[in-house]
Every structure is written in structure tokens, then in C-alpha cells.
Structure 1
């Protein structure tokens, strides 16, 4: 394994991103970007950082139904598969990652706890850590 895995916490306005090291042991957040710049960012980052797998959060509600943003995500997936046919794309349930992200910021000043850019980055990192933990158990 000498490649990185990228995770995406897709949002209508902003998208959180996280990436592993080349050994796929550690997940760390990348700067949150505007969603309308996501494909442009990915076209550069995937090739520069040797990304061969992308994990995309799958938002669901409490009743295990797809959330309202799923249609937008499906459109993104169709574009992604056209632009990056050689990149493996997987989905992982991202329920409660936002709540967990907020809990990780507990004790910090309010301006940090309510900063959505930080929350998106942490959520993407939690998605990737969850995926790594799940894949190690297999």
C-alpha cells in the first residue's frame, strides 16, 4: 500500500476533506473548500497525492433514509466517475459525524466550536477514521 485514501464530507456550500498517510494508518483533515470548487480541487489533488480510493460520506436520517442532499451527492458521483474512472469510490454511513465533530471541540472557545469550516474538516476526518477502522476488521 503506497497510496492515499481521501474522504469527502459533501455539503451544498462547503465540503470537508481528509486524507490518509501513504501507509493508510492516520487520517488528517484538509482545508474545507467551497463545493463549487470541488471538482477542480480533486482534478489536481488526486494525481498530485497519489489518491487511489475516495470515501464519500452517505448522509442518512434517524430512520435510515437518505437525507435531502443525497440527490446532489448522486449528481456529484456521476461526474466523479466520468472524470476519475480509475479511482475506486466507496460510501460510508456518516450519521452522527457532525455531532461527534462538535463534541471533539468541547471546551474550546465558542468561535471555534461554531466554525463550520472546522466542523466539516473534523467530520471528513471522522468518516475516514471510521472507514479505516472498518477495513482493518475485515
Structure 2
């Protein structure tokens, strides 16, 4: 006489796993900060990229053309002598996502990639914010 071994999981085991996965996902999602934090971090990275792009453009030019990064409350632009710089088919200004505002600032880069030191603050809905520090050497980083 053969005794048949049960295969599979019981209903209690399946429900326990589903509840455990649900609790873990809620805890992890709340620690990640959600959509507001992702938008502010993405905008912060875009502004830092624009600052580095402007610094590189200023150092590549043999002329003393004025390369500037101009931040308004809802956009960031990179210009050379007042004209937008081509990014391979697209141009600045880059619009910040809705709900994200930046402190107004202008950074002018010389041939050595130097600029004036300053701080940029990005604010978003949900009370999230990000700060960017720009050193006189032209180096920009999340503060």
C-alpha cells in the first residue's frame, strides 16, 4: 500500500507569504520617499548636469565666450553669449517638472571652468527639497 505525500502549500502558508510581502513592500516604499523625492532628486541631477555641461563647454572654447547657466524658478538654461547651446538636436532651457521650483541664480564660467561660488535650492511639493553647492572651481555637488 502506497502512502501518498501531499504536494504544494497549504492555504495558511500562502496567505502568510502574501501578508508578509505586503507588509515589507509598505515599509520599503515609505522609506524610499515616494514620487516627490524621486522628482526632486531627478531635478537636482538635471541641474548638476547642466552646471557640468556649461563648465565643459567653457573649457573647450579657446575664445573667451561667456558660458552661463541661468536658473529661473521653473527652468535651467545654458547659453553662450546669450544664445542657447545645442545639445545634439535639442536645446536648453530645460523645464523643471511641475511642482518643482528652483532658487533663481546665474553662474558664468571662464576658460578655466571657474565660476562664483553659490548654492541652489530646489523645493517640491510634499515638503521635499534638495540643495546644490557650486564651488568657485566650478565643481557642483548635492549638498
Select the structure that is richer in helix. 1
TM-score, with normalisation over the residues of structure 1? 0.24
TM-score (norm 2): 0.23
* Larger-gyration structure (1/2): 2
